[in-house]
Amino acid sequence: MEAMKRRNIFSVLYTFSSTVRVRLTLWYLGIMIFIMIIFGGSLYATETFLNVNTVNSRLEIQLYQDARKISGTYQQAITDGKSPGTLYTPLSSGEFVLLLRPDKSVFDQQGTLPQTAVQQLQNRVDNNQPTIDVSIPQSQHTNWHNMDGQYRVLITPLLNQNTRVATMIIGLPKEFAVSIVSIWLFHGTMGLLAAAIGGYWLAGKALRPVKMITRTAREINATDLRRRLDLRRRDEFGELAATFDQMLGRLEAAFKRQTQFTADASHELRTPLTIIDLEINRALTQFETPLEYRQVLEAIQVENGQMAQIVNSLLLLARADSGQTLLQRQALDLSDIALASVERLLPLARQHQINLATGELPELIVQGDTQYLKQMLINLIENAIKYTSGIGQRVHVELSCEQDRWAVVRVQDDGPGIADEHVPYLFERFYRADKARTRKPHDASTTRVCGQESGGIGLGLSIVQWIVEAHDGQIQVHSQVNMGATFEIRLPLLQDTVVAGKSDNDEVTFMTN
């Protein structure tokens, strides 16, 4: 149990971490950490080595240290009566030392120092300032870190028993220094630049799947909908790609259905048109008597009625698909509609030698359109009669109430039944489970009952399904091969009270003899 909980926790964490939002956040956090480290490190280094105060402080410390060491050497040499010029003192790069006598004449000089600078320093000895800044011409002394020739100079008197015996002047070139404002501006600009580059790269990385989806979508056209993205990712883009693939699948299926629908409709209309053309040609070339012409006109009338039925059914479905069909809803009793539908189809049942029977027909009040509900029942009963003919003997119609919420209509036959592979496609347009029952051409002697014929056009069940769904109902098919089929329709009741219209044991049978 504990191991299962851990796996569930790990699964949730993995799913959470695989989302684009989390990955973008982590990438952005990583980039910002990198920028902060670089920005902070470079800012610290710049502040440490290039800040004005830091540079000046470091320079003065070095000046005092060098002055202490060199002044001690000079003072010892003067006390011992030695010439300071004989001394060698190692100096830093760019550093100079100038030793002046009390009368300001040059006692000793080390390092490169032009005469103009010597005179300038001699004139400023009596300023009583321990440190001064002087400018030495760049042509005389130039360093990469001291391009403007500025020097920080320390003036130190050399004393012997409180008597000045000499004055030592030591100078170091001032290093390049940057103000804190300039440092912040520079690093802020570099940080923004790094953030922009990182954000652009991150956006490109995140939107790469979108580009692929866009490219694939542009390559897909209406004649080739078989392509799929197959983007196997466990994030939002993977979900988007899967949704896109599902949409393509639905579009492909819709185009196939449309193509098949067009082909089937053309086939159904071509047959009566061909028959009409043949009959007219026969009448024009072969017949002479009025009876023969009458038979031709009757055949043309039959085929014209068939075409009218196809066109009307297609128009009804087309209006239903576009939402243009308006139902005239009113409270009605399903038992009245069931009785009227059965009575209307009695001639067709007699022709096919089928016993058309009704079971319980309680009073079930629903809100619906009388015309369409009657058409729904007629289509179902007619379909059952046609497919039972020659195999079974009975079609049964009954009503019932279910859970005081649904009015249930059942149309049952003992015909050949429907194989399981056909059930999912029964309500598709022009679909026929039994291809042998496709309508065939006939002559004028073919008997038609109620404007119908033995071969269907494959639109009746499609119309039934639309009527049921338009009334917020449900339709189900229960069937086994060689054991008949039952079509069961559920429509919402208008009221909870159900009044029995006939006794439970009563059954009305309409004999076909």
Residue 352's CATH number: 3.30.565.10
Q: Using a pLDDT cut of 70, give the percent of the chain over it.
A: 81
**Phi, psi dihedral angles at 396 (to 5 degrees):** -120, 130
- Nearest Cα to 136, choosing from 118, 154, 117, 119? 117
Q: What is the pLDDT of residue 449?
A: 32
Check pLDDT > 70 for residue 232: yes
Same domain, 414 and 496: yes
Query: pLDDT class for 413, splitting at 50, 70, 90?
Result: very high
Query: Is 307 domain-assigned?
Result: no
Query: Is 357 domain-assigned?
Result: yes
Same domain, 228 and 121: no
If you search the block for the tokens 């000089």, which residue do you land on? 109
Same domain, 350 and 495: yes
434-475: pLDDT as tens digits: 554 444 444 433 333 333 343 456 788 888 999 999 999 999
Query: Is 8 domain-assigned?
Result: no
Same domain, 241 and 197: no
Same domain, 95 and 23: no
Q: How many residues are present in the chain? A: 513
Q: For the chain, what is the mean pLDDT?
A: 78
* H or E element in which residue 242 lies: helix 236-285
Segment 328-355 shows an average pLDDT of 92
Query: Is 277 domain-assigned?
Result: no
Same domain, 353 and 443: yes
Check pLDDT > 90 for residue 489: yes
Segment 355-363 shows an average pLDDT of 92
Check pLDDT > 80 for residue 106: yes
Question: Which residues 6+ apart lie within 8 Å of 438 measured at CB?
Answer: 432, 455
Query: Is 292 domain-assigned?
Result: no
Same domain, 335 and 460: yes
Highest mean pLDDT among 113-122, 257-266, 490-499: 113-122
Highest mean pLDDT among 9-23, 44-58, 161-175, 336-350: 336-350
Question: Which amino acid, residue 35?
Answer: I
Residue-number span of the structural domain to which 488 is assigned: 328-510
Segment 199-210 shows an average pLDDT of 78
Query: Is 146 domain-assigned?
Result: yes
d(CA 464, CA 443): 30
Check pLDDT > 80 for residue 357: yes
Question: Which amino acid, residue 217?
Answer: A
Q: What is the pLDDT of residue 464?
A: 92
Can you read off the two tokens belonging to residue 253? 């299926």
Count structural domains, the chain.
4
Segment 91-112 shows an average pLDDT of 85
Q: Strands (DSSP E) along 123-235, which ranges?
A: 131-135, 150-159, 164-173
Q: What is the pLDDT of residue 335?
A: 94
CB atoms within 10 A of CB 51: 17
Segment 507-512 shows an average pLDDT of 48
Segment 110-122 shows an average pLDDT of 84
131-156: pLDDT as tens digits: 787 877 754 444 544 546 788 888 88
Can you read off the two tokens belonging to residue 428? 């598709």
Q: Is residue 260 a contact partner of residue 425, using CB atoms and an 8 Å limit?
A: no
Can you read off the two tokens belonging to residue 84? 């300071």
Q: Is residue 83 a contact partner of residue 77, using CB atoms and an 8 Å limit?
A: yes
Query: Is 135 domain-assigned?
Result: yes
Same domain, 337 and 486: yes
Query: Is 74 domain-assigned?
Result: no
